[in-house]
Amino acid sequence: MSGCGVIPSTLRSLIIWDCGGMEGRYVNVFHPLSALSVCEVEVYSTEELPVDTFPQQPPPHEYCSSSSCSRDYVLVHDEPKTWSEARSYCRERYTDLATVGSAQDMTRVTDVMGDDFNDFWIGLHEDVVRWRWSLSDEGYYGDGEAEFRGWASDEHNSETGIQRCAAMGDTGEWKHQDCGLLNFFLCFDGRNGAPKTNILVETAKNWTDAQRYCRQYHTDLASVRNQTENQEIQSLVPEGTLVWIGLFEDSWRWSDGSNSSFRYWWQEQPDDGGEGPNCAHVDGWKWSTRPCDTKSMFLCHCRC
């Protein structure tokens, strides 16, 4: 295998090589010390009548699969755009506006933004309110199980303006609760090597803090997928109490359709007090909201 060029480790801009007539079907990019964060490689040939016209596919490899490939983030800082304009730009040139689906993704985002760029759009935007589970792994739910509900017969949507989360009582019925209230909560532990189980945590927390606790020490807040699970979880609820489960009202969607429920809001965010619609932007080291027609830098991602 012959090499054509070496990317300097400090390079953050376009670089072009003339490979001097090298022959081959693929371009391989290697880094001897760390994982790649290269998003785009374009190859141009001077061959006018190629003999081999067989459809070309990437060679097999072991370093990445379609389900595990990480996102490569690209910060566009010299063309401020509204959220919608930024989404169109990212879809035309990359994949979409950035989805930040985990704490690890957020660490990579902060690496991209550095010290000079700390205010830019990501792909999260306000949409229709719906109920969804904190545990967003689609493989965990069978057909229709993500839509299972156990609301009390007299339960109905309460007034707007307050985010609602679901709590289960000792009868097994669910109640709408202000997510800021303090309740015991149920965690689901499905980590590799551990028996899959639901765990009652008898420390009163608001729903967001309960979610953070479950994700740190277990897997997530408990989901309830069917009536059998509802009865099993009901047996853990102390008499006369309500405990948080993982269902919550959510009006936020990722531009690329990702089902991730990861959020990294500043305290008191998201702020839904404006006229809207609102979109999410990285604001320093966490997320805030503002009107989507504000012009700003933005972060794209691509699957490379």
Domain ranges of the chain: 135-140+162-251
Residue range 15-57, pLDDT digits in tens: 555 666 666 666 666 655 555 554 456 665 555 444 444 444 3
Residue 98: closest CA among 122, 78, 120, 82 = 122
Burial class, 233, CB count within 10 angstroms (exposed 0-12 / middle 13-18 / buried 19+): buried
- C-beta separation of 186 from 198 below 8 A: yes
The answer to whether 79 and 88 have CB atoms below 8 angstroms apart is: no
pLDDT the model gives residue 196: 87
Strands 96-97 and 296-302: antiparallel
- Reading the block at residue 46, the tokens are 């001077």
- Give the separation between CA 235 and CA 40, rounded to whole angstroms: 53
- What are the distances in angstroms from CA 269 to CA 32, 129, 240, 272, 289? 41, 16, 32, 8, 7
Residue 125: band (very low, low, confident or very high) from pLDDT cuts 50, 70, 90: very high
Q: pTM for this structure?
A: 0.63
